[in-house]
Structure 1
Amino acid sequence: MSQRLYEQLLHDSAGLPQSVLRDVLIPAVLDKETDGILYWAGKDLARQFPVESTSSIVALFDQLGFGHLKLKKQTSKQQIWLLDGQLVTDRLTLPRPNFTLEAGFLAQQIELQTNATTEAQVTEQKKNMVEILVQHNIKDSASDIEPVEFLQLETPQTDDAE
């Protein structure tokens, strides 16, 4: 690891331990398989943390430290999501930022909610934003879906008395 990368990760909003694990160790171990394995790991993670609504996906992305997620556009067959925030901006300055974990997680959440076969891919990475395209086929039911018990997310309480 270079001094520059060390300092960048040390001051990253995710913190050094998470940044080293996610953006240094995993790609070093997985090499060319990083994209595929992280995508399927994201899908598996979503099956462990299923939520029942778009707003819950957005909240869970924040809680998991993936970044701030926003639905930009939606049609009957696809959705375009934007992922941003300081964590995303910090990661985008790294030599090879990878957001396939987030794409897989998002694809599986949508699949669990719609019961339609769903895939996602990162379509654009800009200076401070990542675009994820989610495509699903309502006519193609996800055959391996077992009954899902959706999580009830805890949301931070705001103190209006202040």
Structure 2
Amino acid sequence: MSKKKQWIETIEEMDTAVSPYSNHLLRHVLIPELLGEEEESILYWAGKAISRKLKAEEINDLPLFFEKANWGTLTLMKERRNEKQYDLLAPQMIQDRPFTLECGFLAQWTEFQTGFITEATYEIKKKKPLTCRITVRWDPKDKVMMF
């Protein structure tokens, strides 16, 4: 069995109950302290790296993955020819925290699915409950180069 397969199986065997307190400390206290001004761009890159590590074809149910990762409830709201819009209702969502980790993950996941260079952005919807709208766009003229 490959190392990657073992890594994925280990993750799936873990207890999915993550302490909200522990998650809050990591995501909202430690990570900003460590990454400083580069937090948003590093988190975007990290989200893409996680997606590449897991590979898109191994994640069939995107909303289930988000729930298991404790990233929140992901709902596809709109789908167009070269764009998808998702709403993310995240646990302990804090308005001034970036959601670039999730954006990077969705950008890379979608890039695997479409075969086109993809990017994702987000905006916080201030309605109750607080929701993060993630927009994923790709250019059908900009194919991913396979090496």
Cα displacement string for residues 29-52 of structure 1 (whole angstroms, at most 9, x for unaligned residues): 111100000000000001112233
Q: How does 1:1-162 map to 2 (within 5 A)?
A: 14-52=19-57, 56-85=61-90, 87=91, 90-92=92-94, 96-126=96-126, 127-143=129-145, 145=146
What is aligned with 2:13?
Answer: none
TM-score by length of 2: 0.78
Report how many residues are paired.
128
Runs ≥4 in structure 1, deviation > 6 angstroms?
none
Cα distance, 1:115–1:140 mapped onto 2, change above 3 Å = same
Question: How far apart are 1:22 and its partner, in Å?
Answer: 1.2
TM-score by length of 1: 0.71
- Which ranges of structure 1 fall in alignment gaps of 5 or more residues? 1-12, 147-162
Counterpart amino acid of residue 47 in structure 1: R
Name the Cα RMSD after superposition.
2.1
Quick one: percent identity of the two aligned structures? 34
What is aligned with 1:151?
Answer: none
Quote the Cα distance in structure 2 between the aligned partners of 1:53 and 1:118: 19
Quote the Cα distance in structure 1 between the aligned partners of 2:138 and 2:35: 28
Cα displacement string for residues 101-135 of structure 1 (whole angstroms, at most 9, x for unaligned residues): 00100111000111110000112343421000100
- Which ranges of structure 2 fall in alignment gaps of 5 or more residues? 1-17
Quote the Cα distance in structure 2 between the aligned partners of 1:54 and 1:70: 15
